Amino acid sequence: MSGEIVVNAHPLDDLLRADRLPHIWCPGCGLGPIMACMANAMADSAIPIDKHVVVSGIGCTGRVAGYLKVDSFHTTHGRPIPFATGLKLAKPELQVTVFSGDGDLFAIGGNHLIHAARRNVDINVICVNNFNYGMTGGQAGPTTPMGARTSTTPYGNVDPSFNLPRLAATLGAVYVARWTSLHVRQLEKSIRRAIKKEGFTFIEVLSPCPVGFGKSNNLGEGLDEMELYRTNCVVYPEADLSQADIELKHDSTIIVGDFVDIERPVYGAGGGEE
């Protein structure tokens, strides 16, 4: 293919580390548009870009921190939330967003997530759920639907999976949403809301991982999975979250929306020690 340069600048150039491109993600991966939503939401927020900090764990999603041109930390597997907790508590003026994968946040890092939500630390958590451990080549994790084939579930996954918005809501997260890499407008708006909101916010973003998951589970390429999101997602903010499990089959619906927006005292703000 012969490439002709149409424009020299990208609208997100100021927010991306152009010197690190091309990125490492596979063709058809959902991470690119999700990261763009994050960049746009940061740019549109009332908070100066210098005060935004992004913290990631390890995984394909964990690489987001390295492409965004803000102070950013690529930490250890499962630990971005406690790392972010330290950053935020030691310097409350920072706007701290954790951007990491489903395995990072709910398997190895699950304990940290539940405690940060309980405390209501003022950080935002964006979890890209691609239903598997993408980085290590498509193994099953805590969000892999039952029956799914992965490299470590060759006979079909026997573990029940987490329903992330339900879990986050139960833990006391003050804002909970679920979108997909297709719902870029809604996602960007949700991230803006999360940035504005004080307390522990949680956004799940479903994302195709054709290489690690899609192809071996009859979901096809990245675009095919986006098509599945388009046809099967139902925006239903009032949903009973116990009904929001994901089977990821061609005949099953996926409930998306802004599910929770509540007020709770924020950790460390006006507590006994202040």
Partner 1 sequence: MAVATEERVLTGQQFMNGDVACAEGALAAGCSFFAGYPITPSTEIAERLARRLPAVGGRYVQMEDELASMAAILGASWAGAKSMTATSGPGFSLMMENIGLGMMTEVPCVVVNVQRGGPSTGLPTLVSQADVMQAKWGSHGDYEPIAYSPASPQEMFDLTVKAFNAAERYRLPVFVLGDEVVGHMTERVTIPPAAEIDIVDRKRPSAPPDDGWLPYAPDDDLIPPMACAGEGYGFHITGLTHDERGYPTGDPLVHDRLVRRLSRKIQVHANEICEVEKLHTDDAEVVVIAYGATSRAARHAVLAARERGIRAGLLRLITLWPFPRGVVKELGNTARRFVVAELNLGQIAREAERYTRLPISLVNHAGGMMLPPEVILRAIMEAEA
Ligand X SMILES: Cc1ncc(C[n+]2csc(CCOP(=O)(O)OP(=O)(O)O)c2C)c(N)n1
Half-sphere exposure of residue 133: CA atoms within 13 angstroms, side-chain side: 19
Taking CB under 5 A as the rule, does residue 75 contact Mg ion? no
Q: Which of 10, 13, 44, 111 binds partner 1 (CB under 8 A)?
A: 111
Residues that bind ligand SF4 (CB under 6 A): 25-26, 29, 31, 60, 130, 134-135, 209-212
Of 75, 32, 82, 30, which Cα lies nearest the Cα of 57?
75
Of 42, 41, 43, 148, which Cα lies nearest the Cα of 102?
148
Q: For ligand SF4, give the closer residue by CB, 26 or 171.
A: 26
Of ligand X, ligand SF4, partner 1, none, which one does residue 205 interact with (CB within 5 to 8 Å by kind)? Answer: none
99's CB contacts (< 8 A; 6+ apart) are 38, 54, 55, 56, 61, 62, 64, 65, 80, 126, 128
Element containing residue 86 per DSSP (H, E): helix 80-90
- Residue 18 DSSP symbol: G
**What's the token pair of residue 33?**
């548009």
**What's the token pair of residue 63?**
């690489």
- Residue 153 DSSP symbol: B
Taking CB under 8 A as the rule, does residue 112 contact partner 1? yes
Closest approach, Cβ 132 to ligand X, in A, equals 6
Taking CB under 5 A as the rule, does residue 102 contact Mg ion? yes
> Could you give the angle at the alpha carbon of 242 between the alpha carbons of 196 and 38, nearest 5°?
30
Closest approach, Cβ 124 to partner 1, in A, equals 15
Q: For ligand X, give the closer residue by CB, 59 or 165.
A: 59
Q: Which of 37, 61, 69, 187 binds partner 1 (CB under 8 A)?
A: 69
Instruction: Choose one: 88-96, 154-162, 175-183, 192-200; the region binding partner 1 (CB under 8 A).
Output: 88-96
Q: For ligand X, give the closer residue by CB, 133 or 179.
A: 133
Q: For ligand SF4, give the closer residue by CB, 166 or 183.
A: 183
Q: Which of 92, 160, 237, 265 binds partner 1 (CB under 8 A)?
A: 92
Kind of pairing between the strands at 175-180 and 254-261: antiparallel
Closest approach, Cβ 147 to Mg ion, in A, equals 18
Q: For ligand X, give the closer residue by CB, 15 or 105.
A: 105
**What's the token pair of residue 61?**
């999603």
Residues that bind ligand X (CB under 6 A): 58-61, 77, 101-104, 128, 130, 132-136, 141
- Distances, alpha carbon 83 to alpha carbons 53, 54, 88, 117, 151, in Å: 11, 11, 9, 14, 31
Taking CB under 8 A as the rule, does residue 134 contact partner 1? no
Of ligand SF4, ligand X, partner 1, none, which one does residue 25 interact with (CB within 5 to 8 Å by kind)? Answer: ligand SF4
Taking CB under 8 A as the rule, does residue 115 contact partner 1? yes
**Which H, E and C letters describe 26-73, residue by residue?**
CCCCCHHHHHHHHHHHHHHCCCCHHHEEEEECCCCHHHHHHHECCEEE
Q: For Mg ion, give the closer residue by CB, 101 or 165.
A: 101
Q: Which residues bind Mg ion (CB under 5 A)?
A: 101-103, 130, 134
